[in-house]
Chains A and B, each alone.
Chain A
């Protein structure tokens, strides 16, 4: 025994002080563990609250109030179509005062409304799009001229919100967007079974509109699709080529290091800065068409490029070296080895990374605001160079609208966007599980 060993009394584990100390430590342990669990549950409950709120609100956006009116197609209001060819006839039909037909029908139902101002607010029960509905009916079947028909029309945005209970009756009239008079009219129509709430197919087939009840997301979906096509065509080949070069051919030198540092930094640059790049270079310097899917796609392509390169490199790195050795050993050139063996084997990983990058690009808003994709656009875009909008920007635009009906529309558009994202990410997960190779 060495001299400097101090002599301690042995620890008495059974003593009360020791037992207390141990149980205190275990209490601390349990508390810490619960804290961790609590953190996870809190984060997950945020997710649940977010999805639940949006889901609940979106239901109103997918459904739409309709009002049935009895329309008498008064022959005196229509031009004489005899002797006109079909072009002239359809042109003549566009000039008909369809609003008068609707007004007349409503006045027939509420004979005591005669004041000009009252008639106007009566007519605004139905959407401004009702005229197009009527025009379409007549165009399809000119035989209805002179006849009387019951037709369902979209209710205007405020009436729609009222029927769905989003605008309360208990609010004093001065604070309510739907006035007492209109409430009486709607109740009367409802009592007659002339009001119903149905699925809003128009939401999926029309472009944007100032009228909430007419606004749809088809234009934004097409715009998003065109933009993503450009993004994919730009970033996939370049990203793949860069990943192949850096992983398989690049020599270890300063230049390669520079490229790698650049890629890592680009991956963390805020997306809005890419918007500034698009604005200054693509629009300002190269004079490319503003607000177009082409410019939007290029901007997003530059933004997703680093993600794609990093994912591609990881996938290429994961291919066993023995595959390369075997190909080289059989006389393939390095280029043949890469293109015939390494890339096909790495493809599932590369595609997974690409889909995830595209999903990010689909949800991106800020850079597109910079290049002018915020314009109010009614028409569904048909080419890469005309002004378009995309789903997230459409959500942003609607979210800024004061009308109550647009809140539901916004939530519904968000649900559609999230569905697309879930679909894409699901595809990526499936690809990874299906083709992942264990070496």
Chain B
């Protein structure tokens, strides 16, 4: 018996409930529909929902909480000498038990008590699923019977059903709030644990980033340093290079497409530009590392410049290319939102098109263009794969685009992939970086959205 099987059975049961509820309502009035309060289908739904809801609730609770409950029970059942002393040991032990239970060939642990715990874990899990399935079926039957028996011609089935649906709709739209809450809370909680070990001032003003903490206490350089300024500077440098590519190209192509090109040309060119936006960032990263970086390195070598093989320039250029369509389509919106009358007035006074664009359209659309710029910057700051693959991990504090720099996102990936220590300052620092990243992009987005909204209102 698995969880998906019990979901399947639940749906079958509810389907049967729907059918019988519908039949029952028809039988009660012997086919004279006008005497029923609601339509027969709605009586069917009424019974079906009564059967489904408790079961779904039970299954959700099981999915969410079963892992923790079973782990606690398994740990509690361990013999005294094997009980973990610290949080860290507990996590390692559980990892061992899970691997053994899953039958991983190289889990390495052949200790008897781990084997037993693993067996116990598997047994508890299958017992739990069985209990859940039984509960689900029981609730479905109870709910179905209760629903079936309460069906009367004057039962307001439609009102009940619609109320449940409305509640479900509201719950769905609240998921967005929960997602934001989840992000903010998880980032803040983990960052707080980080800042308990590393002072805030060191993180935000320190100039040295080397998160390698030693395995042994007495090792040389055992305290990593967590000054994030080189990362912020690297992020800004790469974003700046990206903007130098994306803003002129994006803005100019938007101007050309809205003001100069014929309609059918625009119809072809715009989707082609959108392709640039649809290409996955990992592809850009590969392109940057494989083609652009060596190209820049070689052409720099011809000019006698010493270019790092993972230069900020390569990552920034490719990121700029990626952002062109975003900048272009947002500026496009801003330009087309300017009332025709302003443009026509300028043209009628004898200004050329370019003069109209430079002196009337762009000033009028400026808030929208600034909004587009801010959103593009936010995109550049949060971009991950290009910098992971092309910008490297050397935390240099430099403004030279030919050197290697690293960014917030690249460091988060480096810190959280590969071998992780539980609960170390190194792992936790990723969340502090994540919080800084989230805060920065949130600020940029809010600013951009409010500027764009205000601007739109002024023309409406």
For B67, give its contact among A47, A288, A366, A400 (CB under 8 Å).
Answer: A288
- B239 interfacial contact with A, CB 8 Å: no
- A342 interfacial contact with B, CB 8 Å: no
**Complex contacts, B276 vs chain A, CB 8 Å:** 43, 46-47
Within 8 A of A (CB), among B237-272: 248-253, 255-257, 259-260, 269, 272
A285–B378 Cα distance when bound, in Å, is 29
The answer to whether B353 touches A365, judged by C-beta atoms less than 8 angstroms apart, is no
- A119 interfacial contact with B, CB 8 Å: no
A407–B291 Cα distance when bound, in Å, is 11
Per-residue CB contact flags for chain B residues 348-374 toward chain A (1 = under 8 Å, else 0) read: 000011110110000000000000000
Within 8 A of B (CB), among A237-278: 237-239, 241-242, 244-246, 249-250, 258-259, 262-266, 268-274, 276-277
- A167 interfacial contact with B, CB 8 Å: no
Shortest beta-carbon distance, A18 to chain B, in Å?
Answer: 13
The answer to whether A305 touches B430, judged by C-beta atoms less than 8 angstroms apart, is no
**Complex contacts, A181 vs chain B, CB 8 Å:** none
The answer to whether A266 touches B179, judged by C-beta atoms less than 8 angstroms apart, is yes
- A113 interfacial contact with B, CB 8 Å: no
Per-residue CB contact flags for chain A residues 269-311 toward chain B (1 = under 8 Å, else 0) read: 1111110110111001111100000000000001001100100
Q: Report which residue of B166, B183, B284, B430 has the largest number of chain A beta carbons within 10 angstroms of its beta carbon.
A: B183
Shortest beta-carbon distance, B201 to chain A, in Å?
Answer: 24
For B417, give its contact among A40, A258, A288, A369 (CB under 8 Å).
Answer: A369
Closest to B445 in A: A268
The answer to whether B279 touches A50, judged by C-beta atoms less than 8 angstroms apart, is yes
Shortest beta-carbon distance, B75 to chain A, in Å?
Answer: 13
Per-residue CB contact flags for chain A residues 384-417 toward chain B (1 = under 8 Å, else 0) read: 0000000011011001100000010011001001
The answer to whether B166 touches A335, judged by C-beta atoms less than 8 angstroms apart, is yes
**Complex contacts, A306 vs chain B, CB 8 Å:** 176
Closest to A256 in B: B173
The answer to whether B434 touches A273, judged by C-beta atoms less than 8 angstroms apart, is yes
The answer to whether A36 touches B179, judged by C-beta atoms less than 8 angstroms apart, is no
- B381 interfacial contact with A, CB 8 Å: yes
For A268, give its contact among B260, B290, B375 (CB under 8 Å).
Answer: B375
The answer to whether A26 touches B352, judged by C-beta atoms less than 8 angstroms apart, is yes
The answer to whether B173 touches A259, judged by C-beta atoms less than 8 angstroms apart, is yes
- B27 interfacial contact with A, CB 8 Å: no
**Complex contacts, B412 vs chain A, CB 8 Å:** 272, 276, 370
- A425 interfacial contact with B, CB 8 Å: yes
Closest to A46 in B: B321
A258–B165 Cα distance when bound, in Å, is 22
The answer to whether A265 touches B446, judged by C-beta atoms less than 8 angstroms apart, is yes
- Assuming the A-B contacts A47-B275, A265-B442, A414-B283, are A242 and B169 also in contact, with contact meaning beta carbons closer than 8 angstroms in the complex? yes
For B68, give its contact among A287, A374, A395 (CB under 8 Å).
Answer: A287
- B18 interfacial contact with A, CB 8 Å: no
- B449 interfacial contact with A, CB 8 Å: yes
Closest to A309 in B: B176
Question: Interface segment, A27-35, A91-99, A157-165, A204-212?
Answer: A27-35
- A359 interfacial contact with B, CB 8 Å: yes
The answer to whether A242 touches B438, judged by C-beta atoms less than 8 angstroms apart, is no
**Complex contacts, B179 vs chain A, CB 8 Å:** 262, 266, 277, 302, 305
- A85 interfacial contact with B, CB 8 Å: no
Within 8 A of B (CB), among A136-183: none
- Assuming the A-B contacts A25-B352, A333-B162, are A414 and B413 also in contact, with contact meaning beta carbons closer than 8 angstroms in the complex? no
**Complex contacts, B257 vs chain A, CB 8 Å:** 40
Q: Report which residue of A26, A54, A237, A372 has the largest number of chain B beta carbons within 10 angstroms of its beta carbon.
A: A54
- A364 interfacial contact with B, CB 8 Å: yes
**Complex contacts, A259 vs chain B, CB 8 Å:** 173-174, 176-177
- B281 interfacial contact with A, CB 8 Å: yes
**Complex contacts, A42 vs chain B, CB 8 Å:** 249
The answer to whether B438 touches A29, judged by C-beta atoms less than 8 angstroms apart, is no
- A326 interfacial contact with B, CB 8 Å: no
A302–B276 Cα distance when bound, in Å, is 24
- B287 interfacial contact with A, CB 8 Å: yes
- A421 interfacial contact with B, CB 8 Å: yes
- B382 interfacial contact with A, CB 8 Å: yes
Closest to A365 in B: B282
Q: Report which residue of B180, B281, B284, B449 has the largest number of chain A beta carbons within 10 angstroms of its beta carbon.
A: B180
Per-residue CB contact flags for chain B residues 314-336 toward chain A (1 = under 8 Å, else 0) read: 00000001001000100000000
The answer to whether B413 touches A366, judged by C-beta atoms less than 8 angstroms apart, is yes
- Assuming the A-B contacts A37-B256, A273-B382, are A421 and B186 also in contact, with contact meaning beta carbons closer than 8 angstroms in the complex? no
**Complex contacts, B328 vs chain A, CB 8 Å:** 43
The answer to whether A280 touches B353, judged by C-beta atoms less than 8 angstroms apart, is no
Shortest beta-carbon distance, B315 to chain A, in Å?
Answer: 14
The answer to whether A43 touches B166, judged by C-beta atoms less than 8 angstroms apart, is no
- A202 interfacial contact with B, CB 8 Å: no
- Assuming the A-B contacts A333-B162, A335-B166, are A363 and B282 also in contact, with contact meaning beta carbons closer than 8 angstroms in the complex? yes
- B441 interfacial contact with A, CB 8 Å: yes
Starting from the known contacts A274-B183, A396-B388, A399-B286, 10 additional A-B residue pairs (CB-CB under 8 Å) come to A37-B256, A43-B253, A46-B276, A50-B321, A272-B384, A277-B183, A372-B417, A395-B282, A407-B290, A417-B283
7 pairs from A and B in contact (CB 8 Å cutoff)? A244-B169, A285-B186, A366-B281, A366-B385, A396-B388, A399-B389, A421-B278
Closest 8 CB pairs of A and B: A270-B382, A36-B256, A363-B280, A287-B67, A241-B172, A280-B186, A39-B252, A32-B354
